[in-house]
């Protein structure tokens, strides 16, 4: 290609030609999203996506420009109405937070700055904001000031980071350099049968293989059986394996069960194992005045993975990994290229003497996700978060009492935190037919759009499941849920009898 001369360059930009019309559009968006959040209760929780909407997204790559107003209008018509629904007060499926207004605003601000949060103390303010948010999280969850931390895309990434540190620290040789194939003793880790699938995913990515994840049975409270855990470790050692880690659950996804974390910490201490805790679903119980005792022992974890986009109600994506030992954490990930040599002379963008945020994980470029946490925690204060988390736990207990009072319903697991598992049994069917009936209840409720719960399998039976991580839910919403479940259950049972 011949070198272009200066005159030949007709330069363009993505910046607007007309800033004022874009400003008008921005103001319209603010009005629209605030109306959208304010009136969310008046709309269906979820609605099926019509075929013509699905077809709309098959259109080919646009080569030519389109007016920003038109693009936005298309969003309003085709995208906005078909939400999964987790921002709605009557959404309690799976484990997802609600989001909040300041969090959404913060994402606008962060994207406008578009600073790269992979840097060091000199680079930019986002480093300091993230460090402060991490300090606050450590404070709230009982970790020492010396612990390290990193905000992540969520708890899957946090679990992956935590287990990487565990594996590398406990291997007993330079695993980063030599790899897993250099060791003949099979590295093993332990968790209960109720542990989240992201642990298995991490174990597979790490090259350990799912065979390395020894799943231990649970007791009636869905807690890992400590005796069986100890036996498993002993037997694996006898068989020449190398046990290196126990993963505790601070809130399982299925039932909200919490392992005996102090007992696990003791086992790890005496067996010299890494203690990792998956706190995606329940770590924040530590803020709830009447529930914090349930997660005692969590602060003894070598690494703790958690989410802020679940039970801290922040918009996606924001999770966090904490590690008791900063050096172990950093040494599992730090890697400095020629073009990113960490400065020693204190000056310039790269001159900070601190480790970089990218030294604690696998992302080098990182968005400014800390801002939404920083602004939200400042706006509301930690005590209010504690009350809201307690409120969800209270709502779960209220719901479980309602269920107990209904002859057609049966509680399927003890309510430890914010998860309520139950089953419609108001029909003299066999268990398999009741499984099918309960599945249909979930789908029917979703399609009617008034309330969304999910289902899961407990002890071989399909059950209904409400996981409450929602700052918009009101006590009446749970009365409504029970009315709807019994109404729909009755209807389905009656039509099943007719066919």
Contacts (CB under 8 A) with a second copy, residues 272-291: 290-291
379 touches a second copy by CB under 8 A: yes
347 touches a second copy by CB under 8 A: yes
Hey, is 422 helix, strand or coil? strand
What b/e readout covers 133-146, taking b as 16+ CB neighbours within 10 angstroms? bbeebbebbbbeee
Nearest to 342 by CA among 115, 116, 113, 118: 118
Strands (E) in 130-230, as ranges, are: 148-152, 187-192, 213-216
* Residue 151 near residue 127, CB atoms below 8 Å: no
114 touches a second copy by CB under 8 A: yes
Contact region with a second copy (CB under 8 A), list: 220-228, 268-276, 295-303, 374-382: 374-382
Nearest to 94 by CA among 213, 206, 198: 198
The pair of three-digit structure tokens given for residue 83, joined into one six-digit string: 């939400």
* Identity of the residue, 94 or 480, whose beta carbon is nearer to a second copy in the bound complex: 94
Supply the minimum distance, in Å, between the C-beta of residue 105 and a second copy: 6
345 touches a second copy by CB under 8 A: yes
Q: Kindly tell me the sign of the dihedral angle through the C-alpha atoms of 297, 294, 277, 310.
A: negative
* Identity of the residue, 292 or 487, whose beta carbon is nearer to a second copy in the bound complex: 292
146 touches a second copy by CB under 8 A: no
196 touches a second copy by CB under 8 A: yes
382 touches a second copy by CB under 8 A: yes
* Identity of the residue, 6 or 498, whose beta carbon is nearer to a second copy in the bound complex: 6
Q: Which of 44, 90, 92, 126 binds a second copy (CB under 8 A)?
A: 126
162 touches a second copy by CB under 8 A: no
497 touches a second copy by CB under 8 A: no
CB atoms within 10 A of CB 115: 19
Supply the minimum distance, in Å, between the C-beta of residue 403 and a second copy: 12
Residue 292 to residues 78, 336, 387, 473, Cα–Cα distance (Å)? 43, 40, 12, 21
Q: Which of 251, 279, 315, 426 binds a second copy (CB under 8 A)?
A: 315
29 touches a second copy by CB under 8 A: yes
* Residue 260 near residue 226, CB atoms below 8 Å: yes
Element (H or E) spanning 442, and its range?
Answer: helix 431-448
Alpha-carbon distance of 156 to 160, in angstroms, equals 6
Start-to-end CA span in the chain (Å): 75
Site string for a second copy, 33-72 (x = CB under 8 A): xx-xxx-------x-xx---xx-xxxxxxxxxxxxx--xx
132 touches a second copy by CB under 8 A: yes
The pair of three-digit structure tokens given for residue 369, joined into one six-digit string: 């996700």
27 touches a second copy by CB under 8 A: yes
Supply the minimum distance, in Å, between the C-beta of residue 497 and a second copy: 20
Q: Kindly tell me the sign of the dihedral angle through the C-alpha atoms of 179, 185, 187, 193.
A: positive
Q: Which of 90, 170, 276, 372 binds a second copy (CB under 8 A)?
A: 372
Q: Which of 122, 219, 262, 427 binds a second copy (CB under 8 A)?
A: 122
Q: Which of 112, 227, 405, 499 binds a second copy (CB under 8 A)?
A: 112
304 touches a second copy by CB under 8 A: no
For residues 70-89, which are near a second copy according to CB under 8 A?
71-72, 74-75, 78-87
Q: Which of 15, 18, 42, 220 binds a second copy (CB under 8 A)?
A: 15
240 touches a second copy by CB under 8 A: no
For residues 437-456, which are near a second copy according to CB under 8 A?
442-443, 446-447, 452, 454-456
496 touches a second copy by CB under 8 A: no
Please report, for the chain, how many H helices and E strands are present, in that order.
15, 11
For β-strands 274-278 and 242-249, DSSP reports them as parallel
Q: Is 322 exposed, middle or buried (0-12, 13-18, 19+ CB in 10 A)?
A: buried
For β-strands 461-467 and 419-424, DSSP reports them as antiparallel
Supply the minimum distance, in Å, between the C-beta of residue 337 and a second copy: 4
Hey, is 103 helix, strand or coil? helix
Taking 3-state DSSP, the helix, strand and coil percentages for the chain, each rounded to the nearest 5, stand at 45, 15, 40
Determine the size of the site formed for a second copy (CB under 8 A): 196
CB atoms within 10 A of CB 153: 18
Supply the minimum distance, in Å, between the C-beta of residue 169 and a second copy: 13
487 touches a second copy by CB under 8 A: no
Site string for a second copy, 387-426 (x = CB under 8 A): xx--x--xx-xx-xx-------------------------
Q: Which of 253, 285, 308, 425 binds a second copy (CB under 8 A)?
A: 253
């Amino acid at each position: 290609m011949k070198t272009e001369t200066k005159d030949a360059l007709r330069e363009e930009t993505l910046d607007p030609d007309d800033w004022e019309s874009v400003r008008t559009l921005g103001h319209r968006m603010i009005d629209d999203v605030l109306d959208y959040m304010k009136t969310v209760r008046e709309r269906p929780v979820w609605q099926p996506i019509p075929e013509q909407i699905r077809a709309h997204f098959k259109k080919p790559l646009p080569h030519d420009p389109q007016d920003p107003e038109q693009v936005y209008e298309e969003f309003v018509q085709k995208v906005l109405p078909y939400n999964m629904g987790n921002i709605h007060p009557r959404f309690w499926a799976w484990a997802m937070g609600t989001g909040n207004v300041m969090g959404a605003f913060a994402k606008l601000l962060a994207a406008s700055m578009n600073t790269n949060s992979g840097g060091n103390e000199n680079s930019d303010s986002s480093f300091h904001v993230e460090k402060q948010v991490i300090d606050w999280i450590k404070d709230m969850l009982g970790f020492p000031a010396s612990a390290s931390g990193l905000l992540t895309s969520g708890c899957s990434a946090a679990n992956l980071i935590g287990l990487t540190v565990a594996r590398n620290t406990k291997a007993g040789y330079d695993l980063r350099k030599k790899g897993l194939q250099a060791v003949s003793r099979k590295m093993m880790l332990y968790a209960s049968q109720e542990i989240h699938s992201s642990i298995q995913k991490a174990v597979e990515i790490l090259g350990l293989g799912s065979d390395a994840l020894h799943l231990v049975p649970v007791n009636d409270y869905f807690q890992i059986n400590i005796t069986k855990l100890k036996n498993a470790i002993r037997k694996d050692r006898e068989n020449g394996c190398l046990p290196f880690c126990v993963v505790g659950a601070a809130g399982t996804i299925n039932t909200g069960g919490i392992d005996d974390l102090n007992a696990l910490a003791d086992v790890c201490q005496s067996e010299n194992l890494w203690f990792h805790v998956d706190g995606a679903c329940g770590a924040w119980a530590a803020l709830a005045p009447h529930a914090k005792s349930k997660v005692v022992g969590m602060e003894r974890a070598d690494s703790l993975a958690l989410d802020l986009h679940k039970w801290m109600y922040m918009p996606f994506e924001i999770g966090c990994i904490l590690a008791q030992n900063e050096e172990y954490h950093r040494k599992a990930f730090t890697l400095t290229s020629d073009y990113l040599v960490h400065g020693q002379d204190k000056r310039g963008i790269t001159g900070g003497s601190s480790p970089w945020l990218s030294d604690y994980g696998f992302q080098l470029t990182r968005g400014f996700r800390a801002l939404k946490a920083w602004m939200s925690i400042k706006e509301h204060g930690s005590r209010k978060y504690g009350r809201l988390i307690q409120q969800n736990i209270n709502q779960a207990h209220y719901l479980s009492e309602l269920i107990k009072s209904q002859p057609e319903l049966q509680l399927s697991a003890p309510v430890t935190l914010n998860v309520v598992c139950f089953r419609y049994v108001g029909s003299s069917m066999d268990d398999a037919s009741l499984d099918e009936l309960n599945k249909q209840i979930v789908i029917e409720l979703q399609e009617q759009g008034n309330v969304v719960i999910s289902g899961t399998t407990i002890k071989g039976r399909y059950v209904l499941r409400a996981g409450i991580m929602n700052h918009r839910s009101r006590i009446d919403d749970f009365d409504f849920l029970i009315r709807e479940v019994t109404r729909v259950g009755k209807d389905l049972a009656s039509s099943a009898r007719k066919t």
